[in-house]
Amino acid sequence: MNIAPGKTEVSSIPFDQARVDRLMEEAGIDVLFATSKHNTQYLLGGYKFIFFAAMDAIGHSRYLPIVLYEKGGPERAAYIGNKMEGGEHQNHPFWTPTLHAACWGTLDAANLAVEHLQKIGKSAARIGIEPGFLPSDAYTLIRKALPDAKLIDATGMLENMRAIKTEAELEKLRIASELITDSMLATIAWAREDTTKTDIIERLRREETNRGAHFEYCLLTLGSSHNRAASDQAWKKGEVLSIDSGGNYHGYIGDLCRMGVLGEPDAELQDLLAEVEAVQQAAFSKVKAGTLGGDMIAHAESVLKASKVASYTDFFAHGMGLITHEAPFLMTNHPVTYEGTYAAKPLEKNMVLSVETTVLHPKRGFVKLEDTVAVTDTGYVMFGDRGRGWNRGAS
């Protein structure tokens, strides 16, 4: 399928064109050549082809969606996808004036992208690519076919593009968080003595799926162990349970952690969770548009440093949205390997943060809260803000 280019009304573009154009100009990019699932989904207004939701491989190659967007030229935009996506277009037309729903691998997709760039006169342009999401065979083809083009790493520009969420994105993130929280609380209430980690994780998967979320992972601990992988370890009376799950709603991530206990929490457990909560609240108190990201981190760390559990407790905060770690990047290599490039920048309205404090107690185990907050002009809004105390397992 090849729909010829035509004039596109700006109102039909599913992203803030002026902002994207400005970011492209600042990055020295004439044409975006987006190939990651999350960035193509963003540029297409939330669309993701369900056939390749679980894996990309097919035949001898893999699925490679491509969105081509020329700065200031939405009428020359194109989407290049799998042959089966023609049916998707018939039901819900893509906004891009040109569509090639014709590909089964990386090389045919890359070749169609090159042909489109040549057709719109951009074979010598500054082309923004995603090196981490562009297969080597496709890159080689592009480099050979467009020898006069300058290929620029657009990763940072695209991260900045996604950093400020729209109201529709915030609603999806809120729903994702609510569904994950409800699922975790239901799972804790269901689990009982001698229920294994494997069984608890499977129960959580079903709870999330039944609520309309797409389950991605569950990191679970029981008792004094800090091991969060699935196993046959069984929950015992008096032990803690930490349940940390990531799932998504229409591609947007819910990522939270809540605590359970089998029986009544004793004074020590109450105290440990109170220490975690104090650090969380210290971080929240600095979340507001205009606050430097690094100042929020520093304040939470100062409260943690004064805590009696500081020697075995960690604090971490990161941006999230379509992926679990995205702009704003607030901390360097802690633990994910990236630079904290937003530490010296002010938080902005509609950024979304994951804030987490983790106690690795040598005897009582893994005690953690992870919360999701959206930045507002006056502070923050928390998503999925229930069950933040000790939740009881089934008796």
Q: Residue 88: pLDDT above 90?
A: yes
Position 5 scores a pLDDT of: 46
Find the mean pLDDT for residues 357-385.
98
Average pLDDT, integer, range 253-282: 98
- Residue-averaged pLDDT of the chain: 96
At 11, is the pLDDT very low, low, confident or very high (cuts 50, 70, 90)?
Answer: low
Assigned token pair, 227: 């091991």
Q: What is the C-alpha to C-alpha distance for residues 261 and 269, in angstroms, rounded to an integer?
A: 9
Please state the three-class secondary structure of 145-159 as a single string.
HCCCCEEEECHHHHH
Q: Note the pLDDT of residue 297.
A: 98
Give the pLDDT score at 6: 45
Average pLDDT over residues 335-354: 96
Statement: residue 342 has pLDDT above 70? yes
Q: Single out the residue of 278, 376, 357, 248 nearest to residue 313, CA to CA.
A: 357
pLDDT of residue 9: 53
Retrieve residue 213's tokens.
Answer: 């979320």
Give yes or no for residue 10 having a pLDDT over 80: no
Q: What percent of the chain shows pLDDT beyond 70?
A: 97
Which pTM value belongs to this model?
A: 0.94
The pLDDT value recorded for residue 354 is 98
Residue 181 has pLDDT above 50, yes or no: yes
SS (H, E, C) the chain: CECCCCCCCHHHCCCCHHHHHHHHHHHCCCEEEECCHHHHHHHCCCCCCHHHCCCCEECCEECCCEEEEECCEEEEEEEEEECCHHHHHHHCCCCCCEEEEEECCHHHHHHHHHHHHHHCCCCCCEEEECHHHCCHHHHHHHHHHCCCCEEEECHHHHHHHHHCCCHHHHHHHHHHHHHHHHHHHHHHHHCCCCCEHHHHHHHHHHHHHHCCCEEEEEEEEECCCCCCCCCCCECCCCCEEEEEEEEEECCEEEEEEEEEECCCCCHHHHHHHHHHHHHHHHHHCCCCCCCEHHHHHHHHHHHHHCCCCHHHEEEEEEECCCCCCECCCCCCCCCCCCCCCCCCCECCCCCEEEEEEEEEECCCEEEEEEEEEEECCCCEEEECCCCCCEEECCC
Tell me the per-residue pLDDT of 35-62, one tens digit each, with 9 for 90 and over: 999 999 999 999 999 999 889 999 999 9
Q: What is the pLDDT of residue 8?
A: 47
Residues 140-161: tens digit of each pLDDT: 999 999 999 999 999 999 999 9
Q: What is the mean pLDDT of residues 175-198?
A: 98
Mean pLDDT of 8-24: 85
Nearest to 108 by CA among 67, 141, 145: 141
Residue 395 has a pLDDT of: 80
> Quick one: residue 163, left, alpha or beta (phi over 0 = left, psi -120 to 50 = alpha)?
alpha
User: Do residues 101 and 129 lie in contact, with contact meaning Cβ atoms separated by under 8 Å?
Assistant: no
